[in-house]
């Protein structure tokens, strides 16, 4: 992060290396490194974060409560902050700046999640919370006010953490802290009754319980802001106020939340994606994987299925380049599972084998057309006919590639414990290629040629004639953090890892995508992990790579508004 040269600030230099340890143990966050710091000066930046748990962005927009609507006039705001896995997952992301893919905490006792999509034997990484960083670099006091005992215990490093029972007590305690603590530098406030109100009648504005709870929480926001502006030294303080939600809806079925980042100097700006925002896979480590799928994507020995993905290659490879698979590494011509690759000369190649399951060698099928460097839709069908015939057919943009189907019955079972993966997989003479992917679909049936051809470029997947057979659909254009969200009726999310980057391709999207309008050169999808990044940015604390942040300090894009 860079600040304009004439705005000097200091930070104590420190490196943080996350603690790694076995999956069977839990430890507290590593201790902060404290140093002698200068006293507060006039104009000291400070932070107030208010989370109204369970408040859905779309319903907030419908209700338009008085105080939050007034703040919006001087705020960067989003009505579609990316949803998180649960109450705890949202809060941990908010407080550590990391996505659920990294911290994997989602249970109410703030322990690591288990189940599909989680490698339960993987190394656990402990991420420090935002209070650790702030108190390491700044001589300020911190406060955390919540009626949720487990969350209060998770943030046990707060200087002030009053025990409160309900939202009105949260409001009263927050007002008291603001009135009495001149050295306060950061305070997080948590309201819970909007989420509990939605459980009785639904998380929609039409539910009077939910709407009334939103209006009451907004009233408390107004009370807190009044107390903030009444502080004795308020004229010499520069507060960043963030009003957000850990997610919309319930913890069991979360939806997109909202975020509002306020300062009197800000101009109104809606935070959202602009254009098409896929991931660029351009090296050997970047990948999206689904490790624990409960065999939903197991090719097996007799299963029929269809896999389809829009792909844009940036160059024709000089060597064999795998980019999508549910297989082992291809080694000495031995493979188990199936693998897609881009071949020298521009052909698309599918390799299948069942070497670990008694199958005879491998089969390799090549396209007749070259995908080139434009967006193309690649489709593979595998159809089990009988004990002597299991056919593999390839399509590019709905056009059949192998006139005679490849019979893979001799490969026997293609089952493998290897992850369903978008991205490079090492193998013989295999070099990474640079590509974008989108609209990955998995059907548990072999689609026929007419269906494939007539649905190329389908923008609404729910209109597909085989929608009931869809067990995975990933648009792959979230534009932020580390998850490809599954939009199919069943299936699981995919986790990103390694070195990858989100891109903004504007209007350069595949036919099957309904991209966001290109409304700005800035594409800023909102996530709860942004809260920690914004907090450190506002406090002029350098965000080091070792912090592991996924959140974005996007206020740096608007510095002309508030750096005088």
* CATH number of domain containing 534: 3.40.720.10
* pLDDT of 332 strictly over 90: no
Residue 463 CB contacts under 8 Å (≥ 6 apart), including other chains: none
DSSP H or E segment with residue 130: helix 130-137
DSSP-derived 3-state class of residue 454: helix
Asked if residue 429 and residue 348 are part of one domain, the reply reads yes
* pLDDT of 439 strictly over 80: yes
Pair 291, 119: CB distance under 8 Å: yes
Would you state the pLDDT for residue 61? Answer: 97
Asked if residue 306 and residue 268 are part of one domain, the reply reads no
Asked if residue 297 and residue 430 are part of one domain, the reply reads yes
**pLDDT tens, residue by residue, 466-475:** 999 999 999 9
Expressed as residue numbers, the domain containing 114 is: 44-272+524-555
DSSP H or E segment with residue 423: strand 420-423
Q: What is the CATH number for 458? A: 2.60.120.200
Residue range 479-501: average pLDDT? Answer: 93
Would you state the pLDDT for residue 26? Answer: 34
Asked if residue 478 and residue 445 are part of one domain, the reply reads yes
Q: Which residues of 33-71 are buried (b: 16+ CB within 10 A; e: fewer)?
A: eeeeeeebeeebbbbbbbbbbbbbbbbbeebebebbeeb
C-alpha angle with apex 550: 111 to 43, nearest 5 degrees?
Answer: 105
Residue range 34-52: average pLDDT? Answer: 68
**pLDDT tens, residue by residue, 338-373:** 999 998 878 999 999 999 999 998 999 999 998 989
Q: Look up residue 143 and give its DSSP letter.
A: E
Q: Look up residue 240 and give its DSSP letter.
A: E
Confidence grade of residue 413 (pLDDT, cut at 50, 70, 90):
very high
Asked if residue 321 and residue 267 are part of one domain, the reply reads no
**Could you give the C-alpha distances from 257 to 58, 192, 454, 547, in angstroms and in order?**
8, 14, 36, 25
Weakest mean pLDDT among 109-118, 123-132, 171-180: 109-118
2 part of a folded domain = no
Q: What is the pLDDT of the chain when averaged over all its residues?
A: 90
Confidence grade of residue 196 (pLDDT, cut at 50, 70, 90):
very high
For 24, phi then psi, to 5°, come to -95, 0
Would you state the pLDDT for residue 123? Answer: 66
HEC sequence for 165-183: CCHHHHHHHHHHHHHHCCC
Asked if residue 228 and residue 199 are part of one domain, the reply reads yes
Q: How far apart are CA 514 and CA 547, in angstroms?
A: 35
Q: How far apart are CA 192 and CA 165, in angstroms?
A: 10
Bridge partners of 252, per DSSP, are none
**pLDDT tens, residue by residue, 299-312:** 999 999 999 999 99
Would you state the pLDDT for residue 121? Answer: 53
Residue range 405-420: average pLDDT? Answer: 97
Would you state the pLDDT for residue 15? Answer: 33
- Please state at what angle helix 130-137 crosses helix 87-96, rounded to 10 degrees: 20
Q: How far apart are CA 379 and CA 381, in angstroms?
A: 7
Residue 314 CB contacts under 8 Å (≥ 6 apart), including other chains: 282, 373, 433, 434, 435, 436
pTM of the model: 0.82
Asked if residue 492 and residue 529 are part of one domain, the reply reads no
Residue range 271-285: average pLDDT? Answer: 92
Pair 530, 554: CB distance under 8 Å: yes
Pair 479, 525: CB distance under 8 Å: yes
Would you state the pLDDT for residue 372? Answer: 86
Pair 258, 60: CB distance under 8 Å: yes
**Could you give the C-alpha distances from 55 to 62, 104, 504, 547, in angstroms and in order?**
12, 22, 29, 29
- Neighbouring C-beta atoms of residue 9, cutoff 10 Å: 11
17 part of a folded domain = no
Domain count, the chain: 2
Pair 398, 456: CB distance under 8 Å: yes
1 part of a folded domain = no
**Could you give the C-alpha distances from 137 to 34, 131, 198, 431, in angstroms and in order?**
7, 10, 40, 44
Asked if residue 538 and residue 425 are part of one domain, the reply reads no
- Please state at what angle helix 87-96 crosses helix 530-538, rounded to 10 degrees: 30
Q: Which residues of 311-333 are buried (b: 16+ CB within 10 A; e: fewer)?
A: bbbeebbeebbbbbbbbbbbeee
301 part of a folded domain = yes
Structure tokens at 365: 């099928």
Report which of 180, 88, 173, 85 is spatially closest to residue 481, judged by C-alpha positions: 85
**Could you give the C-alpha distances from 59 to 74, 92, 209, in angstroms and in order?**
21, 24, 13
Asked if residue 428 and residue 494 are part of one domain, the reply reads yes
Return the higher-pLDDT residue of 15 and 89.
89
Report which of 263, 231, 242 is spatially closest to residue 40, judged by C-alpha positions: 231
DSSP H or E segment with residue 88: helix 87-96
DSSP H or E segment with residue 66: helix 66-71
Q: How far apart are CA 207 and CA 22, in angstroms?
A: 46
Q: How far apart are CA 498 and CA 249, in angstroms?
A: 31
Residue 379 CB contacts under 8 Å (≥ 6 apart), including other chains: 306, 307, 308, 394, 395, 396, 398, 447, 452
Would you state the pLDDT for residue 37? Answer: 36
Asked if residue 365 and residue 250 are part of one domain, the reply reads no
19 part of a folded domain = no
* pLDDT of 294 strictly over 60: yes
Asked if residue 305 and residue 244 are part of one domain, the reply reads no
* pLDDT of 421 strictly over 70: yes
Weakest mean pLDDT among 55-64, 140-149, 355-364: 355-364
518 part of a folded domain = no
563 part of a folded domain = no
DSSP-derived 3-state class of residue 538: helix
DSSP-derived 3-state class of residue 8: coil
Asked if residue 410 and residue 285 are part of one domain, the reply reads yes
Confidence grade of residue 113 (pLDDT, cut at 50, 70, 90):
confident
Confidence grade of residue 452 (pLDDT, cut at 50, 70, 90):
very high
- Neighbouring C-beta atoms of residue 175, cutoff 10 Å: 18
519 part of a folded domain = no
Residue range 540-564: average pLDDT? Answer: 94
């Amino acid at each position: 992060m860079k600040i304009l040269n004439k705005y000097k600030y200091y930070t104590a230099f420190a490196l943080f290396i996350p603690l790694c340890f076995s999956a069977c143990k839990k430890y507290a966050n590593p201790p902060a490194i404290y140093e002698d710091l200068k006293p507060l000066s006039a104009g000291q930046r400070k932070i107030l974060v208010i989370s109204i748990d369970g408040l859905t962005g779309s319903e907030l927009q419908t209700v338009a409560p008085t105080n939050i609507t007034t703040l919006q006039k001087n705020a960067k705001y989003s009505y579609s902050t990316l949803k998180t896995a649960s109450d705890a997952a949202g809060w941990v992301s908010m407080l550590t700046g990391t996505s659920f893919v990294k911290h994997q905490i989602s249970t109410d006792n703030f322990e690591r999640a288990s189940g599909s999509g989680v490698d339960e034997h993987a190394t656990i990484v402990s991420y420090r919370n935002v209070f650790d960083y702030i108190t390491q670099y700044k001589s300020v006091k911190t406060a955390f006010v919540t009626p949720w005992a487990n969350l209060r215990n998770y943030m046990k490093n707060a200087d002030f953490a009053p025990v409160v029972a309900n939202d009105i007590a949260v409001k009263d305690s927050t007002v008291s802290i603001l009135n009495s603590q001149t050295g306060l530098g950061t305070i997080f406030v948590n309201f819970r009754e909007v989420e509990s109100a939605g459980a009785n009648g639904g998380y929609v504005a039409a539910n009077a319980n939910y709407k009334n709870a939103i209006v009451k929480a907004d009233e408390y926001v107004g009370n807190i802001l009044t107390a903030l502006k009444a502080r004795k030294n308020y004229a010499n303080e520069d507060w960043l106020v963030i009003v957000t939600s850990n997610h919309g809806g319930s913890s069991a079925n979360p939806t997109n939340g909202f975020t509002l980042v306020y300062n009197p100097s800000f101009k109104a700006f809606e935070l959202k994606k602009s254009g098409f925002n896929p991931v660029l896979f351009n090296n050997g480590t970047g990948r999206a994987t689904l490790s624990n799928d409960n065999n939903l994507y197991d090719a097996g020995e007799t299963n029929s299925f269809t896999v389809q993905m829009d792909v844009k290659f940036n160059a024709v490879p000089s060597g064999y380049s795998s980019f999508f698979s549910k297989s082992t590494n291809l080694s000495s011509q031995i493979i188990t599972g199936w693998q897609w690759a881009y071949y020298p000369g521009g052909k698309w190649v599918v390799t299948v084998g069942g070497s670990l399951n008694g199958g005879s060698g491998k089969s390799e099928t090549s396209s007749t057309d070259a995908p080139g460097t434009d967006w193309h839709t690649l489709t593979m069908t595998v159809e089990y006919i009988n004990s002597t015939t299991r056919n593999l057919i390839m399509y590019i943009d709905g056009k059949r590639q192998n006139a005679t189907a490849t019979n893979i019955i001799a490969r026997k079972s293609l089952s493998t414990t290897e992850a369903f993966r978008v991205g490079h997989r090492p193998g013989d003479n295999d070099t990474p290629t640079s590509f974008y992917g989108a609209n990955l679909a998995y059907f548990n049936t072999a689609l026929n040629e007419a269906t494939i051809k007539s649905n190329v470029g389908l923008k609404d997947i729910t209109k597909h004639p085989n929608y009931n057979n869809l067990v995975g659909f990933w648009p792959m254009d979230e534009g932020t953090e580390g998850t490809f969200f599954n939009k199919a009726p069943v299936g699981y999310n995919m986790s990103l890892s390694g070195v990858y980057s989100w891109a903004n391709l504007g209007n350069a999207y595949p036919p099957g995508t309904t991209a966001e309008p290109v409304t700005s050169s800035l594409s800023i999808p909102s996530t709860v992990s942004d809260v920690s990044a914004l907090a450190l940015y506002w406090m002029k604390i350098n965000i080091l790579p070792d912090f592991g942040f996924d959140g974005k300090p996007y206020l740096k894009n608007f510095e002309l508004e508030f750096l005088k």
